[in-house]
Amino acid sequence: MTKPNQPSANIQWGGRFSGGPADIMQEINASIGFDRKLWRQDVRGSLAHASMLAHVGVISAEDKVAIADGLAGIAAEIEAGTFAFTEALEDIHMNIEARLTDRIGEAGKRLHTARSRNDQVATDFRLWVRDAIDGLSAQITDVMLAMATRAAEFAAAPMPGFTHLQTAQPVTFGHHLLAYVEMLSRDRGRLADARARLNECPLGSAALAGTSFPIDRQMTASALGFDRPTANSLDAVSDRDFALEFLGAAAICAMHLSRFAEELVIWCSAPYRFVALSDAFTTGSSIMPQKRNPDAAELVRAKTGRITGSLVGLLTVMKGLPLAYAKDMQEDKEPVFDAAEALALCLAAIAGMARDLTPDLGRMAEFAGSGFATATDLADWLVRALKLPFREAHHVTGRLVARAEALGVDLAGLPLADMQAVEPRIDASVFAVLSVAASVGSRTSYGGTAPSNVAVQAARWLDALR
């Protein structure tokens, strides 16, 4: 049974069908509720297709002009919010084509010559993902710039470095922030790689076998900014690797943002109090007036699950599909749209928090020396000064840590006599390596946390990003 005031069948393909779809069929089949996001890409693809058809003589120059004018008018309607989308026409492609025919008549019906919705949507979707990659890459660059700027500011500010969330060795806050700059650089690289691989144009592959019309696929590919046309029509209409690769890169990037968000949550907590976020990125409690909750960071952490879910969802959709196109692929767009929107929001939030946070440098420095954080420096001194094999030096240092723990002091506070009771050759020069400042300053190996290193790396990144 059809819905009132709607055609008994989709007028764009109704020649084969005399009856209309059941209500549930129309609802499950329609994608206009979400694929309307592709309208800009659909108009671009149609303009390129019409120009190519006119160039090879399949349609007239007059038809090409009419189509271009009609599509410009439709774009203006959609921009103004006056375009009447209808579920009866299923998707963005049919909605635009039907409106084009309404506006310009017979010329509008000629636009779909030598193409199918299969290659049309594959082209539109690649264009959309490409645009999304460009926007997200710019946002990643902004986050990197925010973190590199703060890294330069705090290149020499000591903080505890952790493994297993236990104090390990002192590092600097700048060094810690630059670790995320490196991660984000890889994220940006993955998106660039995905963009390069997706930059082939499916248009002209038609339904699955190509077309008998004398089309110029290189012309449409070039017009749309693609490097080349796809080489196999079956693969072109059924491939969604580009969407999966985009989601994979997005999921990894979101995971990195979530790790930083988790650290912000920890650092803002009362037991740590390493950093504070302003009112701009925190919320209060409905019952506890003292609370300042790092909700922006927590929501970044949570949205990572949505983005990862989008990747797993689309992998599951695609895993059992034979060649070529199947309607299952209609489920490809919503996870990509959702993931791109969520990642954009997460990147904006992280950039904002990176610029907003205020570190408590005194508390960070205090904790940097806790938990016998300079024990490795002591072991290294034993190797350098006393020529002990490192494994023996490790053992000696462990005994000294146990002695300091028993006395309730840190290694710098352990009396020399107690040290010599374990290793008689230790002398007073050992104390020069046991401070936090000496520890971080000594890590001068390439990539190490020495403030001089961090300052150089931060400057390198700032030069590259600006």
**How many other β-carbons are positioned within 10 Å of the β-carbon of residue 227?**
12
**What whole-number distance in Å separates Cα of residue 3 and Cα of residue 5?**
6
Give me the catalytic one of 164, 212, 286, 445: 164
Token pair of 253 as six digits = 């990037």
- Tokens standing for 226? 């693609």
Nearest to 401 by CA among 383, 376, 382: 376
* Biggest alpha carbon–alpha carbon distance for the chain: 100
Query: Which pLDDT belongs to residue 19?
Result: 63
DSSP state of 372: T
- 10-residue averages of pLDDT along the chain (466 residues): 43 58 82 93 98 98 98 98 94 96 97 97 98 98 98 98 92 98 98 98 97 98 98 98 98 98 96 94 73 90 97 97 94 97 98 97 94 91 95 96 94 94 95 94 96 98 96
3-class secondary structure, 293: strand
pLDDT of residue 284: 72
Catalytic residue among 60, 269, 278, 285: 285
Residues 6+ apart with CB under 8 A from 163: none
Report pLDDT for 7. 44
What is the structure's pLDDT at 18? 60
What SS3 class is residue 161? strand
- Please indicate whether residue 285 is annotated as part of the active site: yes
pLDDT at site 17: 58
Could you tell me if 446 and 389 are in contact, meaning their C-beta atoms sit under 8 angstroms apart? no
Q: How confident is the model at residue 27, as a pLDDT?
A: 82
Question: Would you state the pLDDT for residue 121?
Answer: 97
* Residue 20 pLDDT: 67
pLDDT for res 6: 44
Sequence-distant (6+) residues with CB within 8 A of 302 are none
Cα 89 to Cα 14, 33, 43, 225, 395: the distances in Å are: 11, 11, 17, 29, 76
Tokens (6 digits) for 398: 């462990």
Cβ–Cβ under 8 Å, residues 344 and 306: no
